[in-house]
Amino acid sequence: MNIPSDVEEFIERARVARLATIDAEFKPHLVPVVFVFDGNHFFIPLDEKRKTAKPEKLKRIRNIQDNPNVALLIDEYSEDWTKLAFVMIQGKASVASKTEGNIQVREAYKKLMTKYIQYQKVGVGEMCIIITPKKVASWSNS
């Protein structure tokens, strides 16, 4: 998918996004996430921060296994509304483990460790969500 350079720059600057998945009853599930983008895919780690369930049992993972259609919203809010902006990515998600030998995942983990210094103290985890974008919509009020 070809993403315009200004949108890609916005994505690279962003620190957090919201991941939307759908459960088996078509109910939405929304969680804040950290991510990196390699120009083709978005990578969301299932890191070692405290969670209510093991990574493979998280609702977002179960939802992706049942229905891989997801949305990722990256937004920027400002009290100066001329600076509002967002990018919404609709795509197909899958789950991968860094131990599977996937070079893309290993490279993504290196980018995550660089982007988020918190991973020097909190483990980045063994699993990650990979989103292949199918549609990208962006908006800016500037």
- Asked whether the predicted pLDDT for residue 33 surpasses 80, the reply is yes
DSSP characters for 82-138?
GG-EEEEEEEEEEEEEGGGT-HHHHHHHHHHHHH-GGGGTS---SEEEEEEEEEEEE
Percent of the chain with pLDDT over 70: 96
Q: Which two tokens stand for residue 41?
A: 């895919």
**Which amino acid, one-letter code, is at 1?**
M
Per-residue burial over 56-91, b if 16 or more Cβ lie within 10 Å, else e, is: eebebbbbbeeebebbbebeeeeeeeeeebbbbbeb
Percent of the chain with pLDDT over 90: 73
Q: How many CB atoms lie within 10 A of CB 8?
A: 15
The pLDDT value given to residue 51:
66
With bands split at pLDDT 50, 70 and 90, how would you rate the model's confidence at 23? very high
- Asked whether the predicted pLDDT for residue 81 surpasses 90, the reply is yes
Q: How far is CA 96 from CA 5, 76, 131, 141, in A?
A: 28, 29, 11, 36
- Of 20-24, 65-69, 121-125, 138-142, minimum mean pLDDT range: 121-125
- Asked whether the predicted pLDDT for residue 63 surpasses 90, the reply is yes
- Asked whether the predicted pLDDT for residue 52 surpasses 80, the reply is no
Output the pTM of the full model: 0.92
- What range does the domain containing 112 cover? 5-140
- State the CATH number of the domain containing residue 81: 2.30.110.10
Beta partners for residue 17, in sequence order: 33
- Give the highest mean pLDDT range of 64-68, 94-98, 100-104, 117-121: 64-68
Number of structural domains found in the chain: 1
